[in-house]
Amino acid sequence: MSTASDLAAKAAVPQPNTAAIPKRKTFWRLLFGNKLALIGFIFIVGWTLVAILSSWIVPHDPYVTDPANKLLPPSAEHWFGTDNYGRDILSRVIYGARISIWTGMIAVSISFIIGVPLGAVAGFYGGRMGSLIMRCMDILLAFPSLVLAMAIAAAMGPGLMSALIAVGIVGIPEFARLIHGQTISLREKEFVEASRAIGVTNGTILFRHILPNALAPLLVNATLGMGFAILTSASLSFLGLGVKPPIAEWGAMISEGRAYIISGEWWIVTFPGLGIATAILGFNLLGDGLRDVLDPRLRSSK
């Protein structure tokens, strides 16, 4: 026979926010019902497959130089033409997808793993510790994102690891402030008060009850942050603070080919630029679609 304390415990268990997170079939139907989100999803899946299969699908070795065939325009032999060293641009764009896509994923993961716990702790406990954490986030937000990433990468020295860490640090305040606001809102909900009443610890309430209910906006922000991370990483490589030549990376390829735009070799920078543009567009479109699906207010208004 159930006691009063057992009934109180069951009542205190937080229920998933079903209004914000639709069922699996409904979620995919709503997401793919949005044509722009579907286009973004196709771009992302396409570039991800290219990155995974790059070693098997490249038509030429992206690092072999051929001075006799340098600066060739697009043709049947070289679909995207060749660069100033005679390297096949299509092969380098395909190889560049590996670095750009994985750089975005790793950088966003760094921002998520560090920013979410910091913002959640600051929002849940508040006080001096919460104020200190959020003031540190405000300091990071006071600097333009690219300028801060450049400063961090320059201090650490050029290289892929420097770019990853720089882009990851720049994205921390966005996640921290987002989860901070969500936590402040959710900590006043009835299920949190009920959990406290039956003796559930603060850590359990925060990480098992509040964070799962704040997951939807975090997923949207992570998806949109992927596009920002790819663009910032490419910008660092373009400026010489990221990947070093001759490694195939979209930003570095544009940097190497920018001197040839005036002389008419447009293909050297155009195709890496299209790679950056379509990857960022894909994540932005998918992020907008996720926001529409996961926000019940936007769903109800359509």
Residue 249's φ and ψ, nearest 5 degrees, are: -145, 140
DSSP string of 9-57, one letter each residue: HHHHSPPP-TTTS--HHHHHHHHHHSHHHHHHHHHHHHHHHHHHTHHHH
Which residues of the chain register pLDDT less than 50? 1-20, 300
Q: CA separation (Å) from 13 to 1, 10, 139?
A: 19, 5, 37
Amino acid at 244: K
* Domain range annotation of the chain: 30-300
Supply the pLDDT for residue 275: 94
What are 105-158's pLDDT values in tens digits? 999 999 999 999 999 999 888 888 889 999 999 999 999 899 999 999 999 988
Task: Give me the pLDDT at residue 281, please.
Answer: 94
Q: Which CATH class is domain 30-300?
A: mainly alpha
pLDDT recorded at residue 298 = 52
Helices (H), the chain: 4-12, 24-33, 35-52, 54-57, 89-125, 127-141, 145-156, 160-186, 190-197, 202-204, 211-213, 215-238, 250-257, 267-294, 296-300
- Report pLDDT digits (tens) over 173-200: 999 999 999 888 888 788 778 877 887 7
Which tokens sit at 262? 């005036």
| pTM assigned to the model | 0.83
